[in-house]
Amino acid sequence: MSERADIAVIGAGAAGLMAAIAAGRAAMEAGARLRIIALDGAKTLGAKILVAGGGRCNVTHHHVDERAYAGSSRNSIRNVLGRFDVPRTIAFFREIGVELKQEDTGKLFPTSDRARTVLDALLGEARRVGIELWHPWRVVSVRAIEGGFEVGREDVQACSEVRTLLARRVILATGGKALPKSGSDGHGYSIAKSLGHTMTPRVFPALVPLTTSDGHFLRELSGVSAPAEVIVAGAGAKPIVSFTNSVLFTHLGLSGPAILDASRYLADARHADPQAALVLNFAPGLSPADLDRAIVSAKGQSIARWLAESLEFRARVPGHSDRGLPERLSRALCDHVNLDPSTQVQSLTRAQRTAIVSAVTSLAVPITGDRGFTHAEVTAGGVPLGEVRLDSMESRTTPGVHLCGEVCDVDGRIGGFNFQWAWSSGQVAGSAAAKAIIART
Ligand SMILES: Cc1cc2nc3c(=O)[nH]c(=O)nc-3n(C[C@H](O)[C@H](O)[C@H](O)COP(=O)(O)OP(=O)(O)OC[C@H]3O[C@@H](n4cnc5c(N)ncnc54)[C@H](O)[C@@H]3O)c2cc1C
């Protein structure tokens, strides 16, 4: 059995819901009756929105610009973000009943602190503007036919079930491969390829925890976190990029915002040069010479205690001004350089000072890999933006198909940037798809 629609949105995650709403609103404003159906393979909708931001959903960031993203060219990313920017996003959420608050870090969350508020408001608005939400309805194929597309469903048992949807336009919003149990398993890439798109040569996990070797001393610190500068260094220890924020030690390696942000750059650097390294600096902004001088002038404390309490470490990382180096970490760093943590600062030899200063300011951590798509927040790689028209997100290879969200080769930093990409690209794709149909009727 098949049915007809004007627009089939494939994937009802952040980008797909925004695209469907934008299409529905554009139709309403024009007084046109369009049948818009959002299809999703998942039994329950919005799994990723619900887990986002630790269940609070970091909807966006107060300052979003293209430098927070990687993948396609930054000019293309800026172009799309500028078409539905942060003020418009905040206004949109206010219109649908979600008031956002800005935290010190610049991240915006719903005032309810509940991701459910965001998902319910999006689903409510989708219904208000007449969107049909069909799920579970997993799409396996999209085929161009006379006047539109045939959208094919995964095999279903009951003969009475709709197996194909004939749509005038299709919006591909299937996400990437991160957190596959949420329904984003990468099949959208095969659909994009079947429509003539290419993929970036590599598709890999981003915003992902990293692993260290079994028995590495930092694994003993599982549960401890510390502010640090995380540096991705290439050949000759040359820094490529660095992020300053919290680092969390885990039973398998490293996590926390600074590590997640660095992870895709490390993977990229290692692809070009397997020797590329990850270096931690627990005293950002303080040169090794300054740190050495500070130790020389200290008195009456063990080195481990001094590292844990010294004001030299404070106020160097935004949001962490009340913290020194965690004592467990300072002890572990001493042990790592064969220095007894209880040694009094004034009795340290020059060699001991040099060793501990180096461990604190440039600790190279041998990274064995990452925790893969199951633990990644986003996917690096996808359909290059060069293959879509930026003013409509319409495919250059198959006109009538629009793409938005994570299926595109765009990934952002921690902080609400990935959702902002989903909202911006979804809004552009949805309103353009509806307007194109309205213009022809
Ligand atoms: C744990 C976690 C926390 C995160 N926290 C944040 C945060 O706080 N802030 C932030 O900005 N970003 C966050 N992100 C990233 C953000 O969730 C994603 O960037 C965003 O959801 C991407 O939106 P999307 O709609 O493109 O893809 P998705 O949200 O992945 O949605 C794709 C949808 O398509 C459906 N689908 C896939 N294939 C098919 C098919 N063949 N047929 C039918 N349906 C299909 C899937 O079921 C899914 O519902 C987080 C991600 C994770 C994993």
> Of the candidates 346, 370, 394, which is a domain's last residue?
370
Indicate if 356 and 387 belong to the same structural domain: no
**How far is ligand 1, taken at its centre, from the CA of residue 184, in Å?**
7
Phi and psi at residue 235, in whole multiples of 5°? -55, 140
Indicate if 46 and 65 belong to the same structural domain: yes
Residue 152, domain CATH: 3.50.50.60
**C-alpha span between 437 and 441 (Å, rounded):** 7
Q: Quick one: which atom of ligand 1 is closest to the CA of 15?
A: 25
Q: Which of 174, 177, 208 to mutate to test the pocket of ligand 1 (most atoms within 8 A of CB)?
A: 174
> Residue 29: is its pLDDT beyond 80?
yes
Q: What value does the mean pLDDT of the chain take?
A: 94
> Residue 323: is its pLDDT beyond 80?
no
Least Cα distance to 259 among 114, 413, 113 occurs for 413
> Residue 316: is its pLDDT beyond 60?
no
Residue nearest to atom 30 of ligand 1 (CA): 175
Task: Work out the pLDDT band at 413, boundaries 50, 70, 90.
Answer: very high
- The pLDDT value recorded for residue 9 is 98
- The pLDDT value recorded for residue 321 is 52
Name the pairing type of β-strands 225-233 and 394-395: unpaired
- Average confidence (pLDDT) over 423-433: 98
Q: Which of 189, 418, 423, 425 to mutate to test the pocket of ligand 1 (most atoms within 8 A of CB)?
A: 418
**C-alpha span between 289 and 278 (Å, rounded):** 22
The whole model's pTM is what?
0.96
Q: Which of 44, 48, 187, 423 to mutate to test the pocket of ligand 1 (most atoms within 8 A of CB)?
A: 48
Q: What percent of the chain has pLDDT over 70?
A: 96
Pocket of ligand 1 (CB under 6 A): 10-16, 39-42, 48, 51-53, 57-58, 138-139, 173-175, 178-179, 183-184, 187-188, 377-378, 405-406, 416-419, 422
Least Cα distance to 227 among 151, 153, 313 occurs for 313
The DSSP H or E segment spanning 229 is strand 225-233
Indicate if 133 and 155 belong to the same structural domain: yes
In DSSP terms, 405 is beta-bridged to none
Indicate if 222 and 333 belong to the same structural domain: yes
Indicate if 160 and 260 belong to the same structural domain: no
> Of the candidates 370, 397, 416, which is a domain's last residue?
370
**How far is ligand 1, taken at its centre, from the CA of residue 47, in Å?**
8
pLDDT tens for each residue of 332-386: 999 999 999 999 999 999 999 999 999 999 999 999 999 999 999 999 999 999 9
Task: Work out the pLDDT band at 236, boundaries 50, 70, 90.
Answer: confident
Buried (b) or exposed (e) across 264-300, using 16+ Cβ within 10 A? bbbbbbbeeeeebbbbbbbbbebebeebbebbeebee
> Of the candidates 336, 370, 404, which is a domain's last residue?
370
- The pLDDT value recorded for residue 229 is 94
- Average confidence (pLDDT) over 1-29: 97
> Residue 156: is its pLDDT beyond 80?
no
Question: Which amino acid makes up residue 422?
Answer: A
Indicate if 357 and 419 belong to the same structural domain: no
In DSSP terms, 109 is beta-bridged to 101
**How far is ligand 1, taken at its centre, from the CA of residue 218, in Å?**
32
Domain extent at residue 270: 210-370
Handedness of CA 380, 385, 387, 389 (dihedral sign): positive
**C-alpha span between 289 and 349 (Å, rounded):** 15
Q: What percent of the chain has pLDDT over 90?
A: 89
Indicate if 69 and 156 belong to the same structural domain: yes
Indicate if 357 and 412 belong to the same structural domain: no
The total domain count for the chain is 2
Token digits of residue 89: 């996003």
- The pLDDT value recorded for residue 360 is 95
Contact yes or no for 428/173 (Cβ under 8 A): no
- The pLDDT value recorded for residue 155 is 78
- Average confidence (pLDDT) over 143-167: 88
Indicate if 281 and 397 belong to the same structural domain: no
Q: Cβ-count burial of 20 within 10 angstroms (0-12 exposed, 13-18 middle, 19+ buried)? A: buried
Indicate if 365 and 406 belong to the same structural domain: no
Residue 323, domain CATH: 1.10.8
> Residue 119: is its pLDDT beyond 90?
yes
Indicate if 429 and 402 belong to the same structural domain: yes
Indicate if 425 and 276 belong to the same structural domain: no
Q: How many residues does the chain have?
A: 441
> Residue 106: is its pLDDT beyond 80?
yes
> Residue 315: is its pLDDT beyond 50?
no
| Helices 327-336 + 350-361 axis angle, to 10 | 120
> Residue 250: is its pLDDT beyond 60?
yes
- The pLDDT value recorded for residue 159 is 65
> Residue 317: is its pLDDT beyond 60?
no
